Structure formats: structure tokens, C-alpha cells
Chains A and B, each alone.
Chain A
Amino acid sequence: MRKNILIAGGAIAALLLARNIWVILTQLPDEKFQGAIFRIIFFHVPAAFTCFLCFLASLIAGLAYLKSKKLNYDAFGVSVVEVGLAFGAVNLLTGMIWARIIWGIWWTWDWRLTSMLICWLLYAGYLVLRRAIDEPTERARMSAVMSVLNFSVVPFVFFSIKWFRTQHPQPVLFGEGKMDSGYRAMLYGNWVPILIVAAILIAVRYVQEKQQREIDALRREAHMI
């Protein structure tokens, strides 16, 4: 049943993505100043949204674990962090491709880009921390604490674009310089299939983590006997 839901979700996401890509490449007009590479924004920004949403979910999972001590929350926590890191990497890489074409450089140390990289490193540290702890309860506890600490750095990323004058394009969704509504519709529209893909990946990883825990428990039991 669960597997069928995941497959159905995957099919819907594939169809939506195919339709969106067709619209992006054929229907939407070129942006006035940027030309064709502008279209990367329809993957770049939704990937960032998904990444932050995953990190928020990891905060909630961490707090839920600390409150209830149920290891399922820990399994969910590691799943969302891994998927969040993947989409964060998509965001960084698509941004670098865009930057190479538009600015002529692969990277610049303005605060927006730097903050995204810091967030990515923080959560990568979360995964490294997990690798260093063998005992599941202790690992869950430390991971939960770390996800709470990490998330407190994430707001700096969101508000940085307002606080510091940067090389990154100014906000286009809120405030002045808002994108044309046609573009905005596609940007949010492309977020839907990306979210579905993220949800499928999280579900698969969650089940995997629970099964791993079961295997570890059986192994410990076997060693005792």
C-alpha cells in the first residue's frame, strides 16, 4: 500500500516536472536582462525552499525526540536532514552555474551564498556527528540537540538578504522588484513536484532507518545469545 502511494507520487511528480520543463523551455519568455539561463531559477529557488523546509522539519523532529524519546522521530530527523542537504546542494550548484554565466565567476563570498554554504556545512556536521556515535539512544539525543542548535543559525540566512547589501539579486518574491506574475506562478508551480520528490525520498530513507535499527537490535540480540 505504502509502496503504491510512493510510486503514484513519483508518477505525479514526473508528469508535473515534464509539463513544467516544457512550459519553462517553450512558453515562458526570456527575461529581459538575463536571457536563457534565467530559467534555472525555477529549480534553484524551489530547491532552496525545500532545503529550508527540511531543516525546519529536522528542528521539529529534534524537539519531538527530546520531548518524547521516541526513536522514530530520530529516524525522521536523519531522513529530512539528508534530503535537505541534497536539495541544498542542488541550490548551491544551480546557483554556481547561473553565476558562471551571468557574473563570470563560479563563486563569490557575499553573505547570502556564504550563509547557504554555512548551513550546508552545519547539517553535514550533523551527519558526521551521527557516524561517530554507535549507541542509538545517545546518537538520537545528540542529533536532536544539534538539529536545534543548527536551526538557530538558519534565520541568519533568510534575513541576510535584507540586512546586507550583496551581490546576490535583490528579493524578487517580496518587496520591490517583484517578478512578473507569470514567472512567479511557475516558480511556485515547480515547487510542487520538487516537494513531492523530497517527500518520497524522505519516506524511503525513514523506512530504511527504521529497518537498520531493527537489524542492529537483532544483531545485538544474536551477540548476547
Chain B
Amino acid sequence: MQFLRQTLTVTAKDLRSELRTKEAVNASLSFALVILILFSFAFDPTSETTREIAGGLLWLVFAFAGVLILNRSFARELANDCLETLVSSPVPGSALFVGKSLANYALLIAIEVVCLPVFGVFYNVTWWSRPWELAMVLALTTWGLTVVGTLFSALTVNLRLREVMLPMLVYPALIPCLMAAMQLTTTLVAGEPIAGDQWAWVRLLAGFDIIFTSLAVLLIDAVLIG
């Protein structure tokens, strides 16, 4: 119970500080919209091929924009020794990690929810045809992104060139998760239900989430404290 309270306190703190300044959210959202526009120059946005790559495109946008938020996650604690203070507080490392992950999750989901209608408008795609399954894919994949991204954010927080290191380290680790999401989203955005053998991708997402959440909670103390 105390763990839950500590976790939610950290989540609330992070969300409150982010919503006061809205630095990361604004940057991330602008970046997402700019990428969406840029992609329209890479290929003809109205043709049939767009349907085929819709899922991939969407998750590329979410992944790139998401890393901006994940980078801020631990980086915002560097000023005024806040990170040392948090680590030496009675809050266990795992509560700190889960709290930050939940905050990042909320921010990422918010960005995705804003980007989906924009994507639908720019690329003429009806993304709402299978809402529950799409919500499930978004929920599972975003958690995978968040958990791995927050852990790597903690890992890279003290490095020089942190903004460059985090994307470089995190994207290869996210590829299985992103690949599953891309496959499923392309199907769902085209209006098809998830077919029989495609449920393997959903299982992969669930497995990825479970494995990496457990690993992250186990390893976070080694990363933060040593």
C-alpha cells in the first residue's frame, strides 16, 4: 500500500511539474506534427500505399516524439541535485521508477490521442473503425515504450551527449515492440479486425511489457544507486 502511495506521489509530482511548464509536451507534440508533415513529402499521401504503411508511419512518429518526453523524465531532476535527493529519500528506486513511468505513460498517451485525428486528416485514414482493439494496441505498446525508455533515461541521465545517446540506445531495444505495433495498427487502421495468427503479435506485446517491466524494476536500483 505504501509502495502504491509513493509511486502515485512521484507520478503526481512529475505530471504537475510537467503540466506547469508544458515544455516537453509542447516540444514533443510540435515535433510529432512536423514529422507527420515531413512524411507527406516522402511519398504520395493520398495513394493506396499509404494504407499499407499507415501503422508504421504512426509508430515512427510516436517513437520519435516519445523519446523527447522520456529524455526529460530523469533529466529534469538533474538541476539542484533533485536526483540525489530523490534517490536518498525513503522512496524505493522501484517506486520512483514506476511513478515516473506512469507519468510518462500518461503524457505519451495524451500525445498519441492528439496525433491520431491529425494523422487521420492529413492522410485521409479512418483510424476509428476498430476503436477498442486500437486502444488495446496503443495501451500495450506505449507501456513498452515507456518502461524501456524510462529505464534508459535513468541509465543515460549522467552521460554527456545524453540527448543523442538515449535514442541511439533505446530504439534497437524497442524494435520488437514497435514492429508488433506497426503490424497490428496497419491492420486496424485499414478497418480489418485482428486476424487469427496476428494475435501472436498481441501476445508478443504483452510478453515484452511483462518481461521488461520486471527487468526494469529489478535493475533500477543498480542504475540509480549502484
Contact = CB atoms under 8 A, between A and B. Distances in A.
A125 interface: yes
A34 to B, nearest CB: 30
A207 B29 CA distance: 49
A137 B226 contact: yes
Given A125-B169, A149-B173, A152-B212, A141 B158 contact: no
B219 A145 contact: yes
Q: How large is the interface on A (under 10, 10 to 19, 20 to 34, 35 or more residues)?
A: 20 to 34
A128 B165 contact: yes
B166 to A, nearest CB: 11
Contacts of B173: 122, 149-150, 153
Interface residues of B, number: 23
Given A125-B168, A129-B169, A153-B173, A141 B222 contact: yes
A128 B219 contact: no
- The interface residues of chain B, by DSSP majority, are classed as helix
Contact of A132 (B165, B222, B223): B165
Nearest to A141: B226
Given A125-B172, A128-B165, A129-B169, A152 B226 contact: no
B222 A149 contact: no
B219 A148 contact: yes
A141 B223 contact: yes
A152 B211 contact: yes
Interface string A103-136: 0000000000010001001100100110011000
B169 A163 contact: no
B175 A118 contact: yes
A56 B212 CA distance: 18
Contacts of A125: 168-169, 172
Interface in A148-196: 148-150, 152-153, 156, 163
Contacts of B212: 149, 152
A129 B156 CA distance: 8
Given A132-B161, A152-B212, A118 B222 contact: no
A146 B152 CA distance: 9
Nearest to A137: B226
Given A141-B226, A146-B155, A149-B212, 19 more contacts: A121-B172, A125-B172, A129-B155, A132-B156, A132-B159, A132-B160, A133-B159, A137-B226, A138-B226, A142-B155, A145-B155, A146-B169, A148-B219, A149-B151, A149-B173, A149-B215, A152-B215, A153-B173, A163-B200
9 nearest A-B pairs in the assembled complex, by CB-CB distance:
A121-B172, A132-B159, A122-B172, A125-B169, A145-B219, A118-B175, A118-B172, A141-B226, A66-B222
